[in-house]
Chain A
Amino acid sequence: MAVACLYPVLSALRLGFYDWSMGTPWSSATYQGFDAFIRAFTDPAVWRSLYTTLVFAFVCVSAEMVLGIALALALEERKQKPLKGMMVFRTLFILPMMIAPIAVGLTWRYLFDAQFGLLNALVGLFGVEPIGWLANEHLAFTAIIIADIWQWTPFVFIMMIAALANMDTSVIEAAKIDGATWWQSVWLVKLPMIQNVIVITLLMRLIDAFRVLEVIYILTFGGPGDSTEILSLHIYKTAFISQRLGSAAAISVMLLMVVALLSWWALRLSNPLKDKE
């Protein structure tokens, strides 16, 4: 299975050493050595894109983790005093994740539209002039962050609800008998007990934040300028628009290294693979 996983990755890596355009036979490719890598590492556009990606990932993932965990704790199954309408809320909070990215991207583009968008219509009620959300660099960046948080907080939410549901309740009851407050039982009992799932969720969100493509592709396509061009979109453009597969593969390796580094960091926080005895 490890071989099956690695083969496409290695093929992608191999592309980094060749100059080859799609559709031509592989034999026409020329060996380029480390050229593509050197170009990728010295290209300021790549570094800008990497910076954008880092900020994007950091803001989105922190917001999603905090919101998702808070919501899960608020809507957790409980024996005493169940919250009214809890099932309704739960269902509503899962909805955004289920919408196809292509529809999500278009819907947000429509909402943010300067002329016809609901958002401008809403602020217009307060007498604000129409704002070109997707035409301004900072606002466009905010827009992709909002769309990402909207779509992916449900992921954290479901994971946490499932982890809390899987938890041994006798421990919580024991803590309650010992006089723990709600905050104490959350911080000292519940969260540590679902630590493994939290770390895995964080890891998956981090990794995914570095490779989201579909929604941003449709919402802004990296613009205005390159203000929302995160690295995966930069790779996509390099590969399929500029047709420079070698460079695309080289930048992918760079992205892979960043993600590997971050994953290593997340796993150091708490490694679910290690035995805890």
Chain B
Amino acid sequence: MKHRLHYAALIFLAIFCVLPIVVMFVTSLKLQTQIFNTGINFIFTPTLQNYRDVLNEGGFMRYLSNSLIVGLASTLITLALGCMAAYGLARFRFRGRNTVAYTTLLLRTVPLAVLAVPVFMIWNEAGIINSLSGLVLLYVAVNLPFTIWLLYGFIAQVPIELEEAALMDGCSPIQVFYKVVLPLIKPGLAAASIFTFRIAWNEFILALVLTDRATRTLPVAASLYITDIGVDWGRIMALGSLIAIPPLLFTFIAAQQIITGLTAGSVKG
């Protein structure tokens, strides 16, 4: 009985989670006239017209590759820098350690809308405006604080005895980091990569300010379907559904890592 209640609650929440996504997808299969029908209408002739429009509108492939480059590059750089910084903060006591930790957190608290203006000015001066590398740099900066703090929590959980044992066995400190610490914090790395990729992939307000026709990312392209005349619901939902696919694949792969991190853990049992 208790189990059944358990399931009922989970199923209810699962429906709440999935329903808006289903609605988004179903709407993407409708024409504008069908979208504005009153009542529950899950029965209709689905059309792929919106998808055809979105894909044929030119630029889709370029926006996709822009988004992929920005998403993957930001994630890789953020993780590489983040795990080293977190390890440094967790394992070494040095002057200014707290200052570094809190300043990184400070950047996180600035609303992106506030950042847009100064970043635009600085990027303009530096000549990296409208370039993919400029966008990558910004996303790395925005994501690093969170990654550092998140990984810090995971590294702090690793028993220091394990590292000491590895050192005794003749590992260099760098080997300890790569061969002992990193495999142990795999769940943390996976979680951090999911969030970093998600932000770099989906963000559109800063991307709108910092890109042009050639370097536009997919969410920026989607926002262009909202015009003064109205919202092109069908196409925006179609593009929204397409945009959701890569982060979902990415999450499935990364979520696997969270689980293998569990079974492969050396601290366990």
Contact = CB atoms under 8 A, between A and B. Distances in A.
Q: Tell me the interface secondary structure of chain B in the complex.
A: helix
A177 interface: no
Interface in B193-231: 194-195, 198, 201-205, 218-219, 222-223, 226, 231
Given A249-B114, A252-B111, A100 B219 contact: yes
A272 B109 contact: no
Given A95-B248, A96-B20, A196-B156, A102 B111 contact: no
A158 interface: yes
Interface string A92-106: 111111111111101
Size band of the interface chain A makes with B:
35 or more
Interface stretch (B45-53, B56-64, B169-177, B252-260): B252-260
Nearest to B197: A98
B41 to A, nearest CB: 9
Contacts of B24: 99, 103, 107
Interface string A240-273: 1000010011001001100110010000000011
A256 B110 CA distance: 7
Interface in B98-129: 98-101, 103-119, 121-122
A77 B109 contact: no
B153 A200 contact: yes
Interface string A110-140: 1100011010011010000000000000000
Nearest to A245: B117
B255 to A, nearest CB: 7
Nearest to A159: B191
Interface in A179-233: 193, 196-197, 200, 203-204, 207, 210-211, 213-214, 217-218, 231-232
Interface of B: 6, 10, 13-14, 16-21, 23-24, 27, 35-40, 85, 89, 97-101, 103-119, 121-122, 141, 145-146, 149-150, 152-154, 156-157, 159, 184-185, 187-188, 190-191, 194-195, 198, 201-205, 218-219, 222-223, 226, 231, 233, 236-237, 239-241, 243-244, 247-248, 251-252, 255, 258-259, 261-262, 265, 267-269
27 contacts: A8-B119, A8-B122, A12-B115, A15-B117, A22-B117, A26-B121, A96-B17, A100-B204, A100-B243, A101-B219, A102-B223, A102-B236, A103-B239, A103-B243, A107-B20, A167-B157, A173-B269, A196-B153, A200-B149, A200-B152, A204-B108, A210-B109, A211-B110, A240-B113, A248-B113, A248-B114, A248-B117
